[in-house]
A and B are shown apart, each in its own frame.
Chain A
Amino acid sequence: MENMINLTIDGVQVSAPAGSTVLEAARLANIHIPTLCYLKDVNQIGACRVCVVDVGARALQAACVYPISEGMVVKTNTPEVRSARKTVVELLLSIHDRKCLSCVRNNNCELQDLCRDLGIDDDDRFAGERNHYDVDDASVSIVRDNNKCVLCRRCVAACHTLQNVGVIGPVRRGFNSAIESPWKVQLAQTSCVGCGQCIVACPVGALKEKDSIKAVDALLASGKHVVVQPAPAVRAALGEEFGMPMGTSVTGKMVAALRRLGFAKVFDVDFGADLTILEEGTELVQRLTNGGVLPMITSCSPGWIKYCETYNPDFIPNLSSCKSPHEMLGAVIKSYYAEKAGIDPKDIAVVSVMPCTAKKGEAKRPELSVNGLADVDEVITTRELARMIRRAGIDFANLPDEDFDSVLGESTGAGVIFGATGGVMEAALRFAYEVVTGKELEQVEFHEVRGLKGVKEADIDLNGTKLSVAVAHGTANAQKLLDSVRSGEKTYQFMEVMCCPGGCVTGGGQPIVKSDVRAGVNVSAVRAKALYDEDAGKARRKSQDNEELKVLYKEYLGEPGSHKAHHLLHTTYTARDKYENIK
Chain B
Amino acid sequence: MPDNKEKFEQLNQVIEELKDQPGALMPILQHAQSIFGCVSLDVQKVIADSLGVTLSEVYGVATFYSQFKLKPSGKYIVSVCLGTACYVKGSQKVLEKLSEELKIPVGDTTDDGLFTLSATRCLGACGLAPVMTVNDEVYGRLTPDQIPAIIAKYRG
Contacts and interface: CB of A to CB of B under 8 A. Distances in A.
Interface of A: 160, 165-173, 181-183, 579, 582-583
B34 interface: no
Nearest to B42: A579
Contact of A172 (B44, B45, B56, B64): B64
Of all A-B residue pairs in the complex, the 5 with the closest CB atoms, nearest first, are: A166-B54, A182-B59, A169-B56, A169-B60, A182-B55
B64 A182 contact: no
A460 B64 CA distance: 52
A579 B45 contact: yes
A379 B155 CA distance: 50
A165 B64 CA distance: 21
Interface string B124-149: 00000000000000000000000000
A182 B55 CA distance: 7
B114 interface: no
A167 B53 CA distance: 11
Contact of B58 (A168, A181, A182): A182
Majority DSSP secondary structure for residues of A touching B = loop
Contacts, number: 41
A318 B96 CA distance: 58
Interface residues of B, number: 13
Interface of B: 41, 44-45, 53-60, 63-64
Contacts of B44: 182
13 contacts: A165-B54, A166-B57, A167-B54, A168-B56, A169-B54, A170-B64, A171-B64, A172-B64, A182-B54, A182-B56, A579-B45, A582-B41, A583-B41
Contact of B56 (A166, A173, A583): A166
Centre residue among A168, A183, A579 by max chain B CB count within 10 A: A183
Contacts of B45: 579
Contacts of A167: 54, 56
A132 to B, nearest CB: 15
Central interface residue in A160, A167, A171, A181, by most chain B CB within 10 Å: A171
A182 B56 CA distance: 5
A160 B54 contact: yes
A152 to B, nearest CB: 16
Contacts of A173: 63-64
A582 B55 contact: yes
Contacts of A172: 63-64
Nearest to A184: B59
B64 A183 contact: no
A171 B59 contact: yes
> In this complex, which of A160, A168, A170 has the most chain B Cβ atoms within 10 angstroms of its Cβ?
A170
A160 B55 CA distance: 11
Contacts of B55: 182-183, 579, 582
A169 B59 contact: yes
